[in-house]
Amino acid sequence: MTDTSPDTILEMRQIAKAFAGVQALKGVSFSCRAGQVHALVGENGAGKSTLMKILAGAYQPDSGEIIYKGRRYTSLSTREALDNGIRIIYQELNLLPYMTVAENIFLGREPRTGLGLIDTKKLYADAEAILQRLEMPLDVRQPVGELTVARQQMVEIAKALSQRADVIVMDEPSAILAGHELETLFSVVESLVRQGVAVIYISHRLDEVFRIANEVTVLKDGQVVGTHPIEALTRAQLIQMMVGRSLDEAFPHGQPRRGAPVLTVEGVTTAAVRDIHLTLHAGEIVGLAGLVGSGRTELARALFGADRLQSGTVWLNGEVVTLSSPAQAVDAGIALVPEDRKTQGLFMELPIRNNITLTVLDKLTRYGVIRRRAEAERVDQARRELAIAMASASAEVQYLSGGNQQKVVLSKWLARAPKVIILDEPTRGIDVGAKFEIYQLMRQLTEQGVAILMISSELTEILGMSDRILVMRDGRIVGELAREEATEERVMQLATTGSLLPATTELPGYTGSDA
């Protein structure tokens, strides 16, 4: 099946990998060639990172084989991957800000003099040579902390490439870059390709894929949807491949009962979002879609008073509200269920009880003393309403399952009877059963007149739950779709390009990489 052209340097055949019963990769075959950019695309959870971690030796595959430079491996160790010139550049930068560019590049492998001291002259000369080879316009003596993020990323790349590299995996390298910084990244990629390196480029942004990739492989649900030369695809076709069939996941039904406007936002601008206008009505769920880094979470933080507003006005129930701290937002009746419950939503080492009642302690006290019975009743009520499975309210929250932890976060806010609830990735890392319960709860809340703003990276969830969908890109709201007109393709188009293309054309049949 798979073609083996002479310059194919890496071939992964029928790779399968399961985690705790979840099949992350179901027989994925993937190959790449020297001097080419091969884009790997797919939604969150499609299996891209797992596949690349197997290549890096971080995971061992359950079955399948890797043929690299003509040698056959059933699995790679991290040592083997490194020694054979496989390099991965992760999204996060791991640099020491007060050290110079050269010191960062050679961290831990500094050239030594005969006396065992660091050979500074050689350090800088070698670093200079590497940067020259990669055509990176950096000053080797400048502290890394003074560089822009794009240039810091260059240092990270230079560090990875300071030793011989034949295959380079870039895991969403553009996620941390602003639009104008992309060109810098592209020129680095182009110079790598000229030197005969095989580049595997993971990205959500289709513009980039079309700009720099020679080939593209689409992964979905742990399987390859197809591999094609980039010229053979249109943007619309690629989007449809990524989104694929819609999962028949059950979402609870509910009649939207759109009431009066509750929250009105006009011209809100912060460091991360620009000129936001939106209105939330009582009883509706508004989905906020967009790629990672498009400003969704930052918008949520702004509406919750966690980030400073540079301009703009927010009305709540017809009155202007000042949102300069979360405490003010809470008092005004806004709640935020943050995206990362472990670091932003819960006190993992405190008892379940304390987590649930923390936001309503003022209502449970008499003469400033917490009434134990009132508190126990509140905890019991939360447990019944949300069906939180716990052995004892004194147990620390960290021992609960993901779904139950999320219910604790929700109950913490529901106790305050908020008018507006912002949910940031409400079902991330939660099993299917608990997901459904959370969807049901969202419906119940809207029936009580609560307005919900739901941020989600799962398109099925956005489409299944939202009465209306707002799409963000580069810190702006670029489009609004009514429930009836929303499709996965349309949301993806808005999120990746910022506008809607004409209706998609019929696709030719996709069967592996015979194109």
Contacts to other proteins by CB under 8 A: 304, 306, 325-327, 329-331, 336, 338, 343-350, 354, 357-359, 361-362, 365, 368-370, 372, 383, 389, 391-392, 395, 412
Three-class secondary structure of residue 373 per DSSP? helix
Task: List the structure tokens of 359.
Answer: 């936001």
- Residue 411 CB, shortest distance to other proteins, in Å, is 13
Select 157 or 336, whichever has its Cβ closest to other proteins.
336
CB neighbour burial string for 418-437, b if at least 16 within 10 angstroms, e if fewer:
bbbbbbbbbbbebeeebbbb
Select 5 or 392, whichever has its Cβ closest to other proteins.
392
Select 330 or 507, whichever has its Cβ closest to other proteins.
330
Contacts of 216 (CB under 8 A, 6+ apart): 38, 39, 40, 41, 209, 227, 228, 230, 233, 238
- Residue 292 CB, shortest distance to other proteins, in Å, is 20
- Residue 263 CB, shortest distance to other proteins, in Å, is 17
Select 53 or 353, whichever has its Cβ closest to other proteins.
353
HSE-CB for 508 with a 13 A CA cutoff: 9
Select 168 or 336, whichever has its Cβ closest to other proteins.
336
Query: Which of 299, 295, 296 lies closest to 265, judged by CA?
Result: 299
In DSSP notation, 276-341 reads EEEEEETT-EEEEEE-TTSSHHHHHHHHTTSS--SEEEEEETTEE---SSHHHHHHHTEEEE-S-I
- Residue 216 CB, shortest distance to other proteins, in Å, is 39
Select 220 or 412, whichever has its Cβ closest to other proteins.
412
- Residue 327 CB, shortest distance to other proteins, in Å, is 4
- Residue 372 CB, shortest distance to other proteins, in Å, is 8
In DSSP notation, 75-143 reads ---HHHHHHTTEEEE-SS----TTSBHHHHHTTT---B-TTSSB-HHHHHHHHHHHHHHTT----TTSB
Select 376 or 507, whichever has its Cβ closest to other proteins.
376
Query: 318-325 long-range contacts, Cβ below 8 Å, gap at least 24?
Result: none
* Cβ atoms 15, 54 nearer than 8 A: yes
Report which residue type is found at 85. Answer: G
- Residue 414 CB, shortest distance to other proteins, in Å, is 13
- Cα separation, 479 vs 475, in Å, equals 12
In DSSP notation, 141-199 reads TSBGGGS-HHHHHHHHHHHHHSS--SEEEEESGGGG--GGGHHHHHHHHHHHHHTT-EE
* Cβ atoms 333, 419 nearer than 8 A: yes
Q: To which H or E segment does residue 255 belong? A: none
- Residue 304 CB, shortest distance to other proteins, in Å, is 7
Three-class secondary structure of residue 262 per DSSP? strand
- Residue 441 CB, shortest distance to other proteins, in Å, is 19
Select 155 or 409, whichever has its Cβ closest to other proteins.
409
Select 59 or 304, whichever has its Cβ closest to other proteins.
304
Select 276 or 346, whichever has its Cβ closest to other proteins.
346
Select 245 or 366, whichever has its Cβ closest to other proteins.
366
Q: Is 71 exposed, middle or buried (0-12, 13-18, 19+ CB in 10 A)?
A: exposed
- Residue 412 CB, shortest distance to other proteins, in Å, is 7
- Residue 434 CB, shortest distance to other proteins, in Å, is 17
